[in-house]
Structure 1
Amino acid sequence: MIHKTSLFLLLTLTLLLPLHAQAGTVEIPQTGQVTSYAAGDDGAIQTGVAWPNPRFTDNGDQTITDNLTGLMWEKNAYKGNYDKAANGVIVGTFTWQTALDTAAFYNNISYLGYSDWRLPNINELKSLLNMGAPDQSQWLMSQGFTNVLNQPYRTSTSPSVMVNMADGGIANNLYSYAWFVRGVKPGVVALPETGKETCTGSDGSWRPCSGTEDANLRMGIEWPEPRFTDNSLANPADLTLLDNLTGLVWPKNAGLAGKMTWQQALDFIETLNNANYLGHNDWRLPNLNELQTLSHAQYSDYFKYHAFLNYQLGYYWSSSTYVKNPVGAWVKSSGTFNTSWFAKTSLQYVLPVRAGGGGLTTPVINWAEPYDIVYGTPISAVQLNATADVEGTFVYTPVAGTVLDAGTHTLNVTFTPSDTARYKASTKTVTINVVKATPAITWSDPADIVYGTALSITQLNATADVAGAFFYSPASGTVLDAGLHTLTAIFTPADTVNYTVAAATVRLTVLKANQTIVFPAIATRSVRDPDFDPGANASSGLAVTYTSSDGTVATISVGMIHIVGGGTAAITAWQAGDANYNPASQTQILKVTGRPSKRPVLTINTLADGTVTSSASLSITGNVGGLNKKDTLTISIANNGTTTSVPVQFAVPSGNFSGVFSLGDGENVIEIAATNRLGTTVDRRTIFLQVP
């Protein structure tokens, strides 16, 4: 171990000037370790951006969003993989190609409603790790995920780079499982690219990219160019490197000391600080997240030849304890992403680090996604309501009072802290959905109209509060039946981006129309005239019926006037109306010259009512009087209510008739009826047949 005294003497030989530094592009989150196992370790210092609370949000659609990174993951971390030959998902581990094929398969079927799934790169997958948890799979399932296996999971960075969800280690493995991710929105931190530039096969040889690999997608923040600033170029005494990606400052000499135990590494850092090494006393042993930023997915020797001097081949200590077995601590392989753990008593290399960019802390901005608003609503403090964990001012874009078009918009806020000596400005975005507005239609119930009136702008006169066109149903020019009707107006706005199609209805009553009867005067008729058509017509076109006020003068038969006898009768033409017309009538006087007709006079001769006879055959004679020469006499004969066809002899003009009846036992009712144009005369006799 290097003695503090000798190191101090060595360092005092160097003239130290102020460090040239600037804030990094990305921020490194905390590892999750909160328990300290030694002074100056990860759990004691807890450097990095604090995790949001809650860390994860279950979206209710079988996806979970990591609020730290903004990435959306499958809630179910293992369902199987896509078999290209079988064209379906099968159970088992993933090869490099089946993992890529499964991502493509998910996108083809819009898995869970999305078509931008991908295999995560190494930075994305390891962002899920909590180095304060002994079992990553159990911890992730406690956060809401399901089926997280304590097995290696693939990344898109390389055919063999895996993250072991048993303890969080990173190693190479040809067969492992896959868990798919998609990018959604910015989180508390932004992840950087991995540095991968070309696609390789399982054997490490170059091959064309499939479109879903790390080298092709290059997800994450692009590395600045140059990645490192050699501060000694501006100040020969400042033998440090500023990482322009992270803002961290590292000694240019990556081999300050030889191998040492973990505790010796912590003691060495204390020695550097006591000696004010390179003008600073805030050096620390990097935690695992900080140490892993010194990895390049394309070139294993990138940092050795392009940045650091004396970069050692082997493993470097982190300040993060292996909590599954606290006798060990995490180390990172130089030149790769691989991590492992070794007993703290083993000997590994040491690379100190300190915060660059003035050591400014990024404030945490809390800003929930606003509720939907309707087009026309200016954005206000209801939506622009971000808060921060320190004092400061907010500047929003768009500004309050802005009216946004319908659709999804991004709201931005820049927060400037009051204490700029300790905190730096930060930004945050949220999305807001502006819903299309519904035009307001004004349309009152129209006044009643009469049947036959065509619809017009008098009724179809709706208005809207924005420009557009109306479509009416029923259309203009339609003649509606009488009754209550519903009129509908469909309004299509001219601005279909911000307004929806709207509809309105009103009620219209169509009254029945009046009709008139055209009934010409009836000329004087004679009793000998034939039946005739009165000649009345209704303006509605509906059929007309007739009535006669005196049936002894005239009757109505099938729409014709039938002369009965001399005299005067009022003939009324009548139209009863229908669903659309009111009733109407018109009367004309009919005068008939000639002798009036009479109802027939019917007489049954000799046979007295109640006669008792023992004969079953009975002859009846009678007379019908009061006939005109033009009368047609009809006689019906019934016995006990049943009409019997009995021959009747009738002499004209004397009017005498005779007939023979068959009687049954007991009471028999004999009924004789005579009918002419003026009516019917009936005579009855009750006869008792007494059987001997």
Structure 2
Amino acid sequence: MDMRHVAGTGQTRCYDSEGRETGCNGTGQDGELRPGEKWPDPRFHLMGETVLDNLTGLVWSRDANPGVFPLTWQEAIDRITELNREGFAGYSDWRLPNRRELRSLMSYQAKKPALPDKHPFTNVYLSWYWTSTTAVINPAYAWWVHLEGARMFYGSKSQYAFFWPVHGPGNNLLPATGQQHCYDSEGSITSCHNSGQDGEYQAGNAWPVPRFSTVKDAVLDRLTGLTWTRQANLCKAPVTWQEALRTVNDLNRSGFAGRHTWHLPSINELESLVDAGNHSPALPPDHPFTELQEGYWTATTSFFETDWAWVLYLHKGACGVSHKSRPLFHVWPVADT
């Protein structure tokens, strides 16, 4: 299977700026184009106390809350160490998932929880779940994902959240996050040895060197196979979501950079650019992009509230949502190579 190292979001429907479902044809929305690796059917394979995700090759605990109670970040890591000593569900190599691994479970055509239809998991809480990835913009914080609607932000490592263990190398669909260091709960760099952190495991597909290849006005990401406009501020000012979609359509009519296949990226495509080892911007340090902005629209509607759409906060690397009618975010087109 020829993988692009970006998973599809699962979004199959389209919605206008008022949140009404609409026909997808010609909209340029995620629900029309459905970019990324197609989900297999069935998506999951139940194996007793564990579940194989046929999309990523990762194996998850069927119980989405083996810790019973919310824990601090370090407590969650320590509890997984205990589960490994106990041989939980027959395995001793469980780990706290990194931010891309946990996000890979999310469906953007579902809510409460934001998991694929007919998933086999139990004890799923509509709350924050820890990842092993520190938020380097403030290393006393770590990335977490909210299972109610799939938002990803960061919380203080001293706060309490649930954890959901994963094990196995997967099938190389997911790229590594880029995080190479480890941090304690106060935010100081610490040894990665036996830390259980993202910086220790660096799980996921390794990044090519160099990561990017530039040809005039376009940049090929050699990790994902996606091509981006080198200029990351197509409209020069924030626009509404519908204006963003319209602008990319106009770009195709003009044949920008010799292409007619540009689209507004899905949330998974845009997040694939993030380097979790950097911030302000959260991009690889050798990136060639110009005119970078803080916030960008995606073509993915928020299924939690369909008059909102997913956005990426580039300085932080966070995935959030914004009302489609508000001219607050910028446009950064992508094309499949």
The answer to whether the aligner puts 1:144 opposite 2:120 as a matched pair is yes
Partners of 1:151 and 1:160 lie apart in 2 by 15
Partners of 2:41 and 2:169 lie apart in 1 by 19
> Counterparts in 2 of 1:249-328, with a 5 A limit?
249-257=227-235, 258-300=237-279, 301=281, 303=283, 306-307=286-287, 308-312=289-293, 314-328=294-308
Match of 1:207 in 2: 190
The answer to whether the aligner puts 1:353 opposite 2:334 as a matched pair is yes
Partners of 2:82 and 2:249 lie apart in 1 by 54
Structure 1, unaligned runs of 5 or more:
1-23, 81-90, 232-237, 357-692
The answer to whether the aligner puts 1:30 opposite 2:11 as a matched pair is no
Partners of 1:255 and 1:264 lie apart in 2 by 13
Offset, 1:304 = 7.9
The 8 Å contact of residues 141 and 148 in structure 1, kept in 2 or not, is answered as: no
Relative to structure 1, the CA distance from residue 302 to residue 228 in structure 2 (aligned partners, 3 Å threshold; closer, same or farther) is farther
Offset, 1:27 = 2.7
Match of 1:196 in 2: 179
Match of 1:44 in 2: 32
The 8 Å contact of residues 71 and 181 in structure 1, kept in 2 or not, is answered as: yes
The 8 Å contact of residues 135 and 165 in structure 1, kept in 2 or not, is answered as: yes
- Runs of 4+ that moved beyond 4 A: none
Amino acid across the alignment from 1:351:
W
Cα deviations by residue, 1:531-551 (Å, 9 ceiling, x for unpaired):
xxxxxxxxxxxxxxxxxxxxx
Offset, 1:97 = 1.0
Amino acid across the alignment from 2:39:
W
Offset, 1:253 = 0.8
The answer to which structure has the higher helix fraction is 2
Relative to structure 1, the CA distance from residue 304 to residue 345 in structure 2 (aligned partners, 3 Å threshold; closer, same or farther) is farther
Relative to structure 1, the CA distance from residue 157 to residue 305 in structure 2 (aligned partners, 3 Å threshold; closer, same or farther) is closer
Partners of 1:141 and 1:266 lie apart in 2 by 28
| TM-score of the pair, normalised by structure 2 | 0.88
Relative to structure 1, the CA distance from residue 71 to residue 296 in structure 2 (aligned partners, 3 Å threshold; closer, same or farther) is same
Offset, 1:30 = 1.1
The answer to whether the aligner puts 1:115 opposite 2:92 as a matched pair is yes
Identity of aligned residues (%): 36
Offset, 1:25 = 7.0
Relative to structure 1, the CA distance from residue 271 to residue 193 in structure 2 (aligned partners, 3 Å threshold; closer, same or farther) is same
Cα deviations by residue, 1:227-267 (Å, 9 ceiling, x for unpaired):
11122xxxxxx211110100100111112221100000000
Q: Secondary structure at the match of 1:112?
A: helix
Partners of 2:318 and 2:251 lie apart in 1 by 28
The structure with the largest alpha-carbon Rg is 1
The 8 Å contact of residues 229 and 334 in structure 2, kept in 1 or not, is answered as: yes
> Counterparts in 2 of 1:192-591, with a 5 A limit?
192-209=175-192, 210-231=194-215, 238-257=216-235, 258-300=237-279, 301=281, 303=283, 306-307=286-287, 308-312=289-293, 314-347=294-327, 348-356=329-337
Q: Secondary structure at the match of 1:331?
A: strand
The 8 Å contact of residues 119 and 180 in structure 1, kept in 2 or not, is answered as: yes
Cα deviations by residue, 1:603-658 (Å, 9 ceiling, x for unpaired):
xxxxxxxxxxxxxxxxxxxxxxxxxxxxxxxxxxxxxxxxxxxxxxxxxxxxxxxx
Amino acid across the alignment from 1:163:
V
Offset, 1:201 = 2.1
Partners of 2:201 and 2:3 lie apart in 1 by 20
Cα deviations by residue, 1:385-420 (Å, 9 ceiling, x for unpaired):
xxxxxxxxxxxxxxxxxxxxxxxxxxxxxxxxxxxx
Match of 2:54 in 1: 67
Partners of 1:213 and 1:296 lie apart in 2 by 16
Partners of 2:169 and 2:175 lie apart in 1 by 16
Relative to structure 1, the CA distance from residue 302 to residue 229 in structure 2 (aligned partners, 3 Å threshold; closer, same or farther) is farther
Cα deviations by residue, 1:192-235 (Å, 9 ceiling, x for unpaired):
1000010012332211223311101111111001111122xxxx
Relative to structure 1, the CA distance from residue 289 to residue 76 in structure 2 (aligned partners, 3 Å threshold; closer, same or farther) is same
Relative to structure 1, the CA distance from residue 41 to residue 298 in structure 2 (aligned partners, 3 Å threshold; closer, same or farther) is same
Partners of 2:111 and 2:52 lie apart in 1 by 23
Amino acid across the alignment from 1:63:
T
Partners of 1:99 and 1:72 lie apart in 2 by 18
Aligned length: 312
The 8 Å contact of residues 182 and 195 in structure 2, kept in 1 or not, is answered as: no
Match of 1:177 in 2: 162
The 8 Å contact of residues 63 and 72 in structure 1, kept in 2 or not, is answered as: yes
Offset, 1:305 = 5.4
Moved more, 318-327 or 139-148: 139-148
Offset, 1:54 = 0.4
Amino acid across the alignment from 1:248:
L
Cα deviations by residue, 1:353-391 (Å, 9 ceiling, x for unpaired):
0011xxxxxxxxxxxxxxxxxxxxxxxxxxxxxxxxxxx
| TM-score of the pair, normalised by structure 1 | 0.44
Pairwise CA RMSD: 1.7
Offset, 1:141 = 8.1
Partners of 1:270 and 1:140 lie apart in 2 by 30
Match of 2:138 in 1: none
Match of 1:79 in 2: 66
The answer to which structure has the higher strand fraction is 1
Offset, 1:294 = 1.4
Partners of 1:332 and 1:79 lie apart in 2 by 31
Q: Which has the higher contact order (CA 8 A, sep 6+)?
A: 2
Partners of 1:29 and 1:227 lie apart in 2 by 19
Offset, 1:94 = 1.5
Partners of 1:305 and 1:221 lie apart in 2 by 18
Q: Secondary structure at the match of 1:102?
A: helix
